[in-house]
Structures are given as structure tokens and as C-alpha cells.
Amino acid sequence: MNLIADLPQPIRTNEDFAWAPGRSSPVAGAPKLSKIMAAATELRPYLRERARQTEVDRRVSDEATALFRKAGFFKLMQPARYGGYEYGFTAFTDVISELGRACTSSSWACSLGAIHQWLVGTFPVEAQDDVWKDNPDAIVCVSYAPVVKAERVPGGYVVEGKWMWASNVDNSQWAMLGVQLPNDDGKTVQAGFLLVPRQDWTIEDNWHMAGQSGTGSKTVLISKKTFIPEHRKLTFAEASSNMPPGCKVNENPIYRIPFLSAVPVCLVSPLLGTAQGAIDEFVEMAGVRVTRGAVAGGGNRLCEFFPVQSRLAEASASLDAARLLIYRDTAGVEQMATDGRIITMEERIRNRRDHAFAAKLSLNAVEAVFASVGGGGMALDQPLQRMWRDANAISRHISLNWDAVSSMVGQYLLGMEPKGQY
């Protein structure tokens, strides 16, 4: 008996949001989303087979990155002016979560590489040309935290320092670095990004982690004062507005969506896929595994135990709830941008709540099935233990950390000034 084939397939909640503007491309000749999704599904066996090696290597391979590029994943949200397809966040979540079913780290690396194409599309056009004019296939890693202060000089800025947690840095041709930008008064600063080409920085190989080890989230090092021209700057305020500089050339409404209203889905989408992958793996394991003895007695199939059945149901419900939240919010902001409506503070904070809560629900799904795997699930060649570690690592990301985000939401609901990023 093929247990997976005989069981009902998981509910695909994304089908309820087929109307989302981001599920269609306005670009003539762009591949249909169904074709891109088919490519993601076809890659799953390859990614699953290599997942353990990806973790050992502490980075996604050149070969996997080439396959992502060939499949068009990095073109998904890139502006059409450079050969991109200009799909939205809903389509993005479809593709990235499909990859996450096989290998969380590979999905994460592809996720950030793909969504940063959208973010570069909000920079001034001169910066976009710098990144893509000579190499339309270039991708960008990002270190978001503005930990380094930039020095203002004629025509731009000078920077020197270290930027941690730049995921997929080994495969990136540019780095987008969070900085403190001096204001005109010379006394205050504002947060922002600067784009820096590969020849201006090196990689400090310091990524040794218990979870998400394969993401290659190493440190970008600029060891001497380096000039960055003014046009390669994007402030956080501009990124969070409904009219960032890139709107002057990229007229698709997706480039008018405020940064934090949707970008955290690049962190959640791999986790949605991981939760589904954990359910897939557990169903396969439960159907064939037989107890060996001890307390439970020998010769019983794992799937016959009530707690196992209950935990699987809980995992399925948690994942469906997480997907519903994410697709509702991403489809909503896509429609608001298409309609030319300003996304309100309340809606932004709601979306940030849902990003973090969807991560919490997805982790719950993984925890529910992992609680029933026993000793066999701890083997390094069993994907469930890696998915469990990866899911726990993602849920602790500061942008998804429930304690951090929920306190901001609670402050807002209580009429206090919300302290956080939205």
C-alpha cells in the first residue's frame, strides 16, 4: 500500500487567492506561473537528495544556483526592463514554499535571491543599471541591520566595516548593506541601504550554526574605506513609502508596496514549505515504521497510535492556518497597490503580526509531527530532524520572533506608540 498516494492530498489554500494580482505577469513572453511552479516541483528530488550535503557545505552549491537561474526563479520579481517577469508576492510564495518542501536552506537562499530583485527594483534607476545593465542575471545578498555608520562625502558615501548574516553571499554578485546615513544637519542619522559590487568586499567564513546551516549566511567585510555613489542609496523611509525612487521607471504596482508590508514573506515562505515537507516525511514514515518493542510493544505500526494521528491533524491545521494568513495579506497588499490605495498603519501592523504568527504556526506544525518520530527521526540522514532544526532557526529570526512582533502589535491595540518595524 502506498500510504501517501492513498491519503487525501493537503488542502492548497493558495487556490482561494487565484485572483491575486501578483499571480499574473504583465510582461509579454513571460512564462506562465504554472510552468515556473512545475520547475520548482521537478527540482524537489534533487534538492532533497542534496540537502544533507548542503548543510555540510554550509552554503547552496553553484550547481543548485544555476538550476534556480535556469528555472527563472530570480527573474520572478525582477523588473521587465532587465528581462524580469514582474510577478508579485503571492506567486513568489507559491514557488519558494514548493522548494522548501525539499530543502529549507536551498529554499531560503533562493527566496532571498529572488525577493531582493524586487527590492533593487525600488532603488533609483541608475543603481538598477549598475546591478543589471551588464549582467541581467546578477543577484544580491543583503545584511539588513544598519550597524555601520556611513560617512558623507561629495557625490556619495564612504563605508568600512562588517555586516553579518548575509544569506547566500557565496552566490551573490552584489551586496545591499544596512547603514546609518548622516542627515543634512550632521548630527542625526537615518537608516538605509547602500549597494556594493562584489569586487569591493570579501567574505568572512564564520557561518557555523545548528539550524539553517546551508544558507551560507556569512559576513560581508569591507576592510578599507570604500566610496559608494549617491544613487546607490535607498533609505528605509523610501523603502517603506508607497512611492520609492524605482517607481519612476518600474510602473508595475508591486514596486509601490511598502517594504515591510510584504518582504518578510521571503522568510516565512521557506518555513511554509518546510512544514509541508515535514508532514510529507512524517506520513511516509508513519505508514511503514513498526515499533520494535519496549513500552509501546513490538509489531505495531506508528500510524495506528492515536497521539500520532492527532498530532498529524494538528500539524495540517496549523499549516493551513499559516498559509491562509500569508496569502490573505499578500493578495491584499497587491490589490491595494493595484487600486492605488495607501496601505494604512493598521494594515501594516496586521501584516507584521501575521508574518510572525504564520511562522509560529508553521513551527507548531513541524513540532507536532517531530514529537512522534522517536529515536529514528534523529538520524542525520532523516530529513525530519533537519527540518525541525531549520524551522526553529527561522522562527527565531528577529523579523519573525513572536515576542518582538507581538509586543509591537499589543502596544498598537492598546493605543500606545508601537515600537518596532512595520
- pLDDT bin (cut points 50, 70, 90) of residue 418 is very high
pLDDT at 217: 98
Can you tell me which residue has the cell 523610501?
Answer: 238
Superfamily of segment(s) 140-239: Butyryl-CoA Dehydrogenase, subunit A, domain 2 (2.40.110.10)
Assigned C-alpha cell, 285: 514514515
Pick the CATH number of 261-413 from 1.10.760.10, 2.40.390.10, 1.20.140.10, 3.30.1180.20: 1.20.140.10
Q: Name the grid cell of 245.
A: 525612487
pLDDT of residue 12: 46
What are the start-end ranges of the E strands in 50-199? 140-149, 151-153, 156-166, 174-182, 189-197
Q: What is the CATH number of domain 3-134?
A: 1.10.540.10
Q: What is the pLDDT of residues 372-392, one digit of tens each?
A: 887 777 888 889 999 999 999
Q: Average pLDDT in the 7-19 region? A: 58
> In angstroms, rounded to a whole number, what is the distance separating the alpha carbons of residues 285 and 303?
9
Name which of 114-118, 165-169, 296-300 the model is least confident about: 296-300
Tell me the per-residue pLDDT of 206-217, one tens digit each, with 9 for 90 and over.
999 999 999 999
Note the pLDDT tens digit of each residue in 219-239: 999 999 999 999 999 999 999
Domain ranges of the chain: 3-134, 140-239, 261-413
Alpha-carbon span 193 to 185, nearest angstrom: 20
pLDDT of residue 1: 33
The separation between CA 139 and the C-alpha centre of its own chain, rounded to angstroms, equals: 15
Q: What is the pLDDT of residues 304-345, one digit of tens each?
A: 776 889 999 999 999 999 999 999 999 999 999 999 999 999
Pure H helices in 122-166? 125-132
pLDDT (tens digit per residue) in 91-138: 999 999 999 999 999 999 999 999 999 999 999 999 999 999 999 999
Single-letter amino acid code for the residue at 366: V
Task: Report the largest interatomic distance among the alpha carbons of the chain, rounded to a whole angstrom.
Answer: 77
Query: Are 41 and 351 contacting, i.e. CB atoms less than 8 angstroms apart?
Result: no
Place of cell 507548531: 364
C-alpha cell recorded at residue 136? 541581467
- Predicted confidence at residue 116, as pLDDT, reads 98
* Residue 298 β-bridge partners: 292
pLDDT over threshold 50, residue 395:
yes
Q: What is the 3-state secondary structure (H, E, C) of 368-385?
A: HHHCCCCHHHHCCCCHHH
**Average pLDDT for residues 46-67, to the nearest whole number?**
98
Could you say which DSSP state residue 216 is in?
-
Q: Is the pLDDT of residue 71 over 90?
A: yes
Instruction: Name the pLDDT band for 14 (thresholds 50, 70, 90).
Output: low
Amino acid identity at 370: F
What pLDDT, on the 0 to 100 scale, is given for residue 298? 62
**Average pLDDT of the chain to the nearest whole number:** 93
- Give mean pLDDT, residues 247-271: 95
**Residues 6+ away with beta carbon under 8 Å from 407:** 419, 420
Q: Give pLDDT, residue 307.
A: 85
The pLDDT of residue 288 is above 70: no
**Per-residue model confidence (pLDDT) at position 305:** 78
Model pLDDT, residue 308: 85
Interatomic CA distance for residues 67 and 65, integer angstroms = 5
Binned at pLDDT 50, 70 and 90, residue 293 comes out as low
Signed CA dihedral, 7, 23, 264, 110: sign only: positive
Q: Is the pLDDT of residue 351 over 60?
A: yes
By CB neighbour count within 10 A (0-12 exposed, 13-18 middle, 19+ buried), where does 185 fall? Answer: exposed
Share of the chain above pLDDT 90, in %: 85
**What pLDDT is recorded for position 5?**
39
Whether 42 has a pLDDT exceeding 90, the answer reads yes
175, 35, 33, 391: CA torsion to nearest 10: -60
**Mean pLDDT, range 15-34, rounded to an integer:** 92
> What span, in angstroms and rounded, lies between the C-alpha atoms of 171 and 194?
19
Residue 291's pLDDT is 61
Cell numbers given for 347: 494594515
